[in-house]
């Protein structure tokens, strides 16, 4: 089988409300690039990448000269063809490789009549459990709804998500307000949902001293882990020496060099595997094998997905023997998806791993066209800027916190 064409379409899909984080904000929607890899046997594979627009589409078009005529089964060769580690110093194509790998695995699964999880070693579980992913949110700019800013609103949002989807583990994304205020929010959450489990992630924005202080304050709670309290292995190592709970990362161990460094001088206990950041599902399976060998924990990271990437996370979660934590997903904040049959459904806090050949998802052409049109109308948004804090720079460590008494609505953002 040979690859004959690659198509890239940028879409933007609305969120229920703008999601705030330590580096800025998702301005009420996600922008994603949907990849279609075509073959001479008529099988089409789907991939997905974060961000998009003319530059991302042009990158995929530019790679046609590399890949047309390439056998999609030769995945290891494609890794070096697209993302050779020394060439990557110049072209940084890890996430592009990931989107192409998703599509090639989708092609192979369809060709061989098996789900991608069977290609990856076979599934150990039929469902992948997820954590509720709680964000501080601005109100929806048009209807004023969906705000999450106070401890009461955090608790209400968690209760609602638990009732709707059955989550028993809850992740609070912090790094937006001063740590004392976020501690109050996290404690309120843990107190309201006593018996469930919790994790906190300020996106590496604290000083090491603040990370140690915060970690010590929450030692008595039912923490899965404290995620990226500081940015950098040295700060994580110092924090880990003084805090009695596992530390997790999706930022400072995202490749095999960093994983090796962490094995040799451990700074992080739980590695959050992201199918895009690591360059594909197979790289994550390999990394999970290293973690199994050295008895590090693993979990599945979410970098803001539509259904195609969510399918890669499900197939990954199905085949990892050492997945002992609920996975993360932004998915329940989305109002829609581009896959046929509508959004994946949560049941008892988990999602069934697709069983159809390949990734097990197909495009809804009408929705793809609709959200591609919406992207053309609205364009991209600056992920690392806050719509109501112009001029703010998210330094690391940060001390320029947002004001939790600020009730403004970001009325001028495009929706």
Q: Which is nearer to Mg ion, 182 or 201 (CB)?
A: 201
Q: Which is nearer to Mg ion, 50 or 109 (CB)?
A: 50
Check if 301 is active-site: yes
- In Å, how far are 76, 84, 86, 94, 164 from 80, measured between CA atoms? 7, 4, 10, 11, 44
H or E stretch at 83: helix 75-83
Check binding of 201 to Mg ion (CB under 5 A). Answer: yes
Catalytic one of 173, 315, 330, 333:
173
Q: Which part of the chain contacts Mg ion (CB under 5 A), choosing from 121-129, 187-195, 197-205, 214-222?
A: 197-205
3-state secondary structure 244-290: CCCEEECCCCCCHHHHHHHHHCCCCCEEEECCCCCCCHHHHHHHHHH
CA–centroid distance for 79 within its chain: 21
Binding mask 351-380 for Mg ion (x = CB under 5 A): ------------------------------
Is the link from the previous residue into 273 a cis peptide, with omega within 30 of 0?
A: no
**In 3-state terms, what secondary structure has residue 148?**
strand
Q: Which is nearer to Mg ion, 104 or 254 (CB)?
A: 254
User: What is the closest distance, in whole angstroms, from the C-beta atom of residue 3 to Mg ion in the complex?
Assistant: 34
Q: Which is nearer to Mg ion, 196 or 227 (CB)?
A: 227
CA 359/CA 318 separation, integer angstroms: 12
Using the rule CB under 5 A, which residue among 9, 10, 94, 250 binds Mg ion?
250
Q: Which is nearer to Mg ion, 32 or 173 (CB)?
A: 173
Binding mask 204-243 for Mg ion (x = CB under 5 A): -----------------------x----------------
Q: Which part of the chain contacts Mg ion (CB under 5 A), choosing from 98-106, 159-167, 245-253, 396-404?
A: 245-253
User: What is the closest distance, in whole angstroms, from the C-beta atom of residue 250 to Mg ion in the complex?
Assistant: 4
CA 1/CA 249 separation, integer angstroms: 38
Q: Which is nearer to Mg ion, 107 or 271 (CB)?
A: 271
Residue 311: closest CA among 358, 277, 371, 372 = 358
Check binding of 305 to Mg ion (CB under 5 A). Answer: no
Catalytic one of 21, 140, 170, 301:
301
Q: Which part of the chain contacts Mg ion (CB under 5 A), choosing from 136-144, 176-184, 246-254, 342-350?
A: 246-254
Q: Which is nearer to Mg ion, 60 or 200 (CB)?
A: 200
Q: Residues touching Mg ion: how many (CB under 5 A)?
A: 3
CA 349/CA 161 separation, integer angstroms: 9
Count other C-beta atoms under 10 Å from residue 119's C-beta.
19
H or E stretch at 34: strand 29-39
User: What is the closest distance, in whole angstroms, from the C-beta atom of residue 299 to Mg ion in the complex?
Assistant: 10
Q: DSSP string spanning 217-244?
A: HTTTS-EEEEE-SBSSHHHHHHHHHH-S
Check if 362 is active-site: no
User: What is the closest distance, in whole angstroms, from the C-beta atom of residue 272 to Mg ion in the complex?
Assistant: 6
User: What is the closest distance, in whole angstroms, from the C-beta atom of residue 226 to Mg ion in the complex?
Assistant: 11
User: What is the closest distance, in whole angstroms, from the C-beta atom of residue 201 to Mg ion in the complex?
Assistant: 4
Q: DSSP string spanning 290-308?
A: HHHHTT-EEEE--SS--HH
CA 270/CA 272 separation, integer angstroms: 6
Is the Cβ–Cβ distance between 231 and 267 less than 8 Å? no
Given the rule CB under 5 A, which residues bind Mg ion?
Answer: 201, 227, 250
Residues classed as catalytic: 173, 301
């Amino acid at each position: 089988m040979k690859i004959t064409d690659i198509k890239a379409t940028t879409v933007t899909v609305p969120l229920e409300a703008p999601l705030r984080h330590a580096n800025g904000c998702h301005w009420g929607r996600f922008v994603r690039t949907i990849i279609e890899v075509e073959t001479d046997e008529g099988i089409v594979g789907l991939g997905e990448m974060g961000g998009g627009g003319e530059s991302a589409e042009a990158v995929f078009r530019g790679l046609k000269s590399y890949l047309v005529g390439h056998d999609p089964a030769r995945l290891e060769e494609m890794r070096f063809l697209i993302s050779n580690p020394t060439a990557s110093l110049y072209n940084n194509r890890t996430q592009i490789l990931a989107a192409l790998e998703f599509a090639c695995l989708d092609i192979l699964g369809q060709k061989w009549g098996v789900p991608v999880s069977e290609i990856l070693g076979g599934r150990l579980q039929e469902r992948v459990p997820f954590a509720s992913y709680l964000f501080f949110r601005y109100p929806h700019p048009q209807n004023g709804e969906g705000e999450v800013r106070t401890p009461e609103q955090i608790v209400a949002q968690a209760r609602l998500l638990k009732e709707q989807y059955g989550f028993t583990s809850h992740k609070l994304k912090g790094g937006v307000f001063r740590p004392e205020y976020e501690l109050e929010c996290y404690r309120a959450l843990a107190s309201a949902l006593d018996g469930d489990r919790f994790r906190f992630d300020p996106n590496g924005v604290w000083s090491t001293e603040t990370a140690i202080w915060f970690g010590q304050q929450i030692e008595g709670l039912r923490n899965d882990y404290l995620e990226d309290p500081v940015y950098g292995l040295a700060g994580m190592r110092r924090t880990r020496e003084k805090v009695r709970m596992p530390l997790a990362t999706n930022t400072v161990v995202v490749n095999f060099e960093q994983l090796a460094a962490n094995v040799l001088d451990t700074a992080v206990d739980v590695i959050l595997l992201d199918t895009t950041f690591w360059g594909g599902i197979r790289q994550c399976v390999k990394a999970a094998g290293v973690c199994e060998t050295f008895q590090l924990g693993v979990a599945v990271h979410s970098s803001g997905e539509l259904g195609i990437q969510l399918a890669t996370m499900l197939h990954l979660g199905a085949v990892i023997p050492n997945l002992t934590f609920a996975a993360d997903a932004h998915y329940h904040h989305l109002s829609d998806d581009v896959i046929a049959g509508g959004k994946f459904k949560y049941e008892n806090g988990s999602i069934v791993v697709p069983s159809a050949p390949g990734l097990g998802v197909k495009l809804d052409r009408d929705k793809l066209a609709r959200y591609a049109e919406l992207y053309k109308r609205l364009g991209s948004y600056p992920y690392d800027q806050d719509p109501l804090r112009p001029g703010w720079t998210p330094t690391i460590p940060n001390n320029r916190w947002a004001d939790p008494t600020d009730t403004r609505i970001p009325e001028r953002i495009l929706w």
